[in-house]
Amino acid sequence: MNRELSWLKFNERVLEEAESEKVPLCERLTFASIYQSNLDEFFMVRVGSLVDQMMISGEIRDNKTNMTSAQQIGAILKQVEKLNGRKEAVFGRLMESLEAYGIRLVDFHKIGKKESDYLERYFDAEIAPLISPTVVGKRQPFPFIRNKEIYAAVVLERKNGKEKLGIIPCGTGVFPRLIQVPGGEGTYMLSEELILHFIPKVFKGYFVKAKSLIRVTRNADIDADALYDEDLDYRDFMVELIKKRKRLAPVRLELSRELDGDIVDTLCGYLDVSPEYVFRNNTPLDLSFLFQIEDRLRQIPVLFYEKRVPQTPAQLKKGVSVLKQIQQKDRLLFYPYESIKPFLEMLREAANDEDVVSIKMTLYRVARQSKVVEALIEAAENGKEVLVLVELKARFDEENNIEWSRRLEEAGCHVIYGLDGYKVHSKLCLITRMADGQPEYYTQIGTGNYNEKTARLYTDLSLMTCDQEIGQEAAAVFQALAMGETVEHTEDLLVAPNCLQGPVLDMIDEEIARARNGEDAYVGIKINSLTDKKIIDKMIEASCAGVRIDLIVRGICCLVPGVKGATENIRVISIVGRFLEHSRIYIFGTEERAKIYIASADFMTRNTLRRVEVAAPVYDDTIRMRLLKMFDIMLRDNEQARELGSDGIYRRVENQEEPLDSQDYFFRMAYEAAACGKPAAEADREETQKK
């Protein structure tokens, strides 16, 4: 399956959550907004990349389907048109449902003269003085249209018949997006609709022939490594690169009204965008205001998911040194069901432990107010050696990372910015402590970012271990990074770009050999995306040999399962629910002999060959059994899971089994474990035994 079309199928599953009446109403608003923001980023990154490819050479082909860049773009635009039709339908239903709770979004067709007169006075007093209209002409060039911001575009005609184009920015941020309409506490109009309606008052002396709101999505695909000049400071270079990205060419133009073809052509000419990239929307061009509506309804619990709070894991005792507890036994945290606080406590403890000599860490995306970074700064101020790799190429997080890198440097941390040609996407933390004159390693390897906010929204795993062999390999990874290199060989960890794809292929080969020898053979993988063709081809070979393969792939999946004679032993499911599935688990072999890893890497070529990624083996028996149980629960999800068929279509899992929402199950187990003071794995076993 083509990568881009598979991603659109994922966003369709997000849209299905907005459509589902099983989902509380305000949460459906969230899914509708996520659908739109996902699509924005898709155009900025993926469509932008394809446009660039097409300009370089129209014959660059997808290695899965042999489609050219132009063919992929054509298929994408066609599918997006269909999905947007569904978005418009669900938006209409959501707005109707909100009326029962006193919320109405209106335009001038839905209000009377009294309300209209009030809004005119409001426009004159509060908005007109703050807007900056432009009439495009020889002395007034077409203004720069900012990425994803809303503008009013109007065709103006003078008495002499000459036409001009007027542009007004509507998203200045100095006036509210939702404007209260008199006569009802919850009745609102969007500010851009108000501006568009009263546009004749702005362009006096002109006749308004046509008008529409417009929104542009700009290409954000820019290769930092290809443009970098070694004579420049890298951080300063990234600051300039971010500015440049904001001005890249548009790859989509959205309109709120139907406009004459000549007018659309004129806009396309000014914006340098082809007419096939123009979309007419019957919904607001930016749905982020839906979060404001949710805030106004917060006091009605039935409109939201039941409140869930990450629990303190029973496996870790409060008031006892986290480092000592890790020394006794490996520990696993499972976000968002369990809290990130024990990891933060471990960092703070290390920052203040006189025997800790160094903390080394990779940072990809961190919170705006990061307790992780605060702990690292505290460690540096306490005289510890602190080495931090801050990945400045973390797309759309560059500015946040640049600011934190400055703060870390000011505190005395040794900050490095990544490697030439590779993004450092690993989630690796190494604490070195002196014990009896010898270095003692405490290593944390995660599947998700060191971000306290997303740890409450994304499902991720965090392994904390005192295994010295793993610690030594983590130290080798950091040593290589500090020298601008990548590790060439590992025994325990799987480390991309040199030591991950190959071992994964080898472990699948081991299962193929067992299957051909008549033994039970198994591969179980949970990732966000599957696009690596070498791994896909190896999985097809394994399926043909009789290896049973279960894939839990949230997003892109270029492998089509269930195809007779090729992938009939492969099952693919995707779980889309309240929390973003983000954890990565690799299982090679049947339960009694399984090699189990947690990892930062998806099976995408960019992860396996073009990034520094780390997968950690799980050796502790209790944690191994816990991960196997987690994987099994997700495979049995029949509430939020969709199964991919041999026809390339995802369908909700329907069976006669007891309803099981895996995310809800994991939270219930976390609450029960916290209440009874028993580790989640033990509480889970007792629950199973009861059944």
How far apart are alpha carbons 145 and 182 in whole angstroms? 33
The percentage of residues in the chain with a pLDDT greater than 70, rounded to a whole number, is: 93
**Contacts of residue 192, Cβ cutoff 8 Å, sequence gap at least 6:** 150, 152, 170, 171, 177, 213, 284, 285
- Tokens in use for 651? 């369908």
- Tokens in use for 137? 């002409």
Contact 18, 566 (CB under 8 A): no
Q: Round to the nearest angstrom and report the end-to-end CA distance of the chain.
A: 40
- Quick one: pLDDT at residue 680? 61
* Higher pLDDT pick, 315 / 23: 23
In this prediction the pTM is 0.93
Count of residues for the chain? 691
Confidence band (pLDDT; 50, 70, 90) for 101? Answer: very high
Confidence band (pLDDT; 50, 70, 90) for 224? Answer: low
Backbone angles phi, psi at 223, to 5 degrees: -90, 105
Q: Determine which one of 109, 197, 414, 425 is catalytic.
A: 425
How far apart are alpha carbons 544 and 568 in whole angstroms? 8
* Higher pLDDT pick, 289 / 221: 289
Nearest of 169, 112, 122 to residue 146 by alpha carbon? 169
Confidence band (pLDDT; 50, 70, 90) for 171? Answer: confident
How far apart are alpha carbons 477 and 474 in whole angstroms? 5
- Which strands make up the sheet holding 163-169, listed edge to edge? 134-136, 163-169, 150-157, 207-218, 250-255, 278-280
- Where does residue 254 rank: exposed (0-12), middle (13-18), buried (19+ CB within 10 A)? buried
* Higher pLDDT pick, 260 / 540: 540
**29-43, 181-195, 324-338, 568-582: least confidently modelled range:** 181-195
- Quick one: pLDDT at residue 243? 65
Contact 157, 221 (CB under 8 A): no
Confidence band (pLDDT; 50, 70, 90) for 677? Answer: confident
Q: 472 pLDDT exceeds 70?
A: yes
- Tokens in use for 637? 């999800």
**109-113, 137-141, 384-388: least confidently modelled range:** 137-141
Q: 578 pLDDT exceeds 90?
A: yes
Is 425 considered catalytic here? yes
Distances (CA, A) of 195 to 107, 126, 180, 214: 11, 11, 14, 13
**Contacts of residue 197, Cβ cutoff 8 Å, sequence gap at least 6:** 107, 108, 119
- Quick one: pLDDT at residue 174? 86
**Contacts of residue 262, Cβ cutoff 8 Å, sequence gap at least 6:** none
**101-105, 223-227, 271-275, 504-508: least confidently modelled range:** 223-227
* Higher pLDDT pick, 155 / 243: 155
The 10s digit of each residue's pLDDT in 10-55 is 999 999 999 999 999 999 999 999 999 999 999 999 999 898 888 7
The 10s digit of each residue's pLDDT in 187-220 is 999 999 999 999 999 999 899 999 999 999 999 8
Nearest of 543, 571, 548, 568 to residue 650 by alpha carbon? 571
